[in-house]
Chains A and B, each alone.
Chain A
Amino acid sequence: MGENLKWLWAAFGIGWALHVLYVFLLASRQKSLRNEMRQLRAQLEERDHDGGEPLLG
């Protein structure tokens, strides 16, 4: 039983670790998207303060 128990622990351990890893991946993607969005909003606000002059080019 002891010999086989390690396979059971490994299956549940790795399986749930993959879930946790995915949650961290989602959180990290969300954080990076929000940061990028903040930067874009700042660019737009900057353009509004400059009286509508083009930002790019």
Chain B
Amino acid sequence: MRSQADPYASDAVPPWLALITGAMVVAMLYLTFVWVPMEASMGVVQRIFYFHVPSAFVAFTAFTIGGVASIRFLARRESRFDDLSVSANEVGLLFAIVNLVTGSLWAKPIWGVWWAWDARLTTMLLLALIYVAYLILRQSVVEPTQRAVVCAVVSIFGMVDIPIVYMANQWWRTQHPAPVLSGEGSLDPRMRFVLYFSFAALLFVFWCLVRMRRRIEHIRRDMDALRREVHAL
């Protein structure tokens, strides 16, 4: 039972979470701009790496959470899984867009072009477009159960695309660098630390945003019920 004062208080971002997230983001910016050593060949522009790569990791995590929640929704038909799925997918799309934009801003000074139609970039763009389609579909299907089922299928389809994006620069020849964590590339331990720290900081940001987004979904669900009640009279 929700309290009378604010029925959605349990969905709010708790102060401790907001505080930790803020501190993590400030620390991430300090580590990126001040602490981490300068990369030898690209110089200062390489620091985009500590925002660009973790944003992709968070997007993959978000789409995986969205996909798993969709599978659970299809199995159990509980609306909370649909709420989690749409929230994670929408916030995941934000991180995917940040990844594409920061990648483009990194490519321009290094490759001399804003965009290259190579495998990694194209598959990442396709992944983002799948979730744009997912959100459009969500707006266009009116009946709630049908909407949740159709969107769950698209969400699972999107999740299946993640390994293709990740492996794209190993399966096909691309301009994009090979994976630095699992591939043949070596990463300075301090650079590796900042990369992991940034990933953790962005995961906290993701957590806050998902809570905020899920709150909207709960209000919308209650409002749909209220609207049905009004129209039934």
* Interface residues of A, Cβ cutoff 8 Å to B: 1, 3-5, 7-8, 10-12, 14-15, 18-19, 22-23, 26, 29-30, 33-34, 36-37, 40-41, 43-44, 47, 54-56
CB-based contact B216/A30 at 8 Å: yes
B32, B105, B231 interface centre (most CB from chain A within 10 Å):
B105
Q: Which residue of chain B has the shortest Cβ distance to A55 in the bound complex?
A: B233
Complex Cα–Cα for A51 and B136 (A): 42
Interface of A is mostly: helix
* Interface residues of B, Cβ cutoff 8 Å to A: 29, 32, 42-45, 47-48, 51-52, 55, 91, 94, 97-98, 101-102, 105-106, 108-109, 205, 209, 212-213, 215-216, 219-220, 222-223, 226-227, 229-231, 233
Interface of B is mostly: helix
Complex Cα–Cα for A8 and B104 (A): 11
CB neighbours of B216 from chain A (8 A): 26, 29-30, 33
* A8, A19, A47, A56: the one within 8 Å of B48 (CB): A8
Can you identify 22 A-B contacts, CB atoms within 8 angstroms? A1-B43, A4-B109, A7-B48, A8-B48, A11-B51, A11-B102, A11-B105, A15-B101, A15-B102, A19-B205, A23-B209, A23-B212, A26-B213, A30-B216, A30-B219, A33-B216, A33-B220, A37-B219, A37-B223, A40-B223, A40-B230, A41-B226
Complex Cα–Cα for A3 and B205 (A): 30
Complex Cα–Cα for A29 and B187 (A): 42
| Total inter-chain residue pairs, C-beta < 8 Å | 89
Q: Evaluate whether A26 and B98 lie within 8 angstroms (CB atoms) in the complex, with A14-B105, A15-B55 already known.
A: no
Complex Cα–Cα for A44 and B45 (A): 59
Complex Cα–Cα for A37 and B151 (A): 25
CB neighbours of A33 from chain B (8 A): 216, 219-220, 223
CB neighbours of B32 from chain A (8 A): 12
Q: Assuming A7-B45, A19-B205, what are 13 further A-B pairs, CB within 8 angstroms?
A: A1-B43, A7-B108, A8-B47, A10-B105, A12-B51, A14-B101, A14-B102, A15-B101, A18-B101, A23-B209, A40-B223, A44-B233, A55-B230
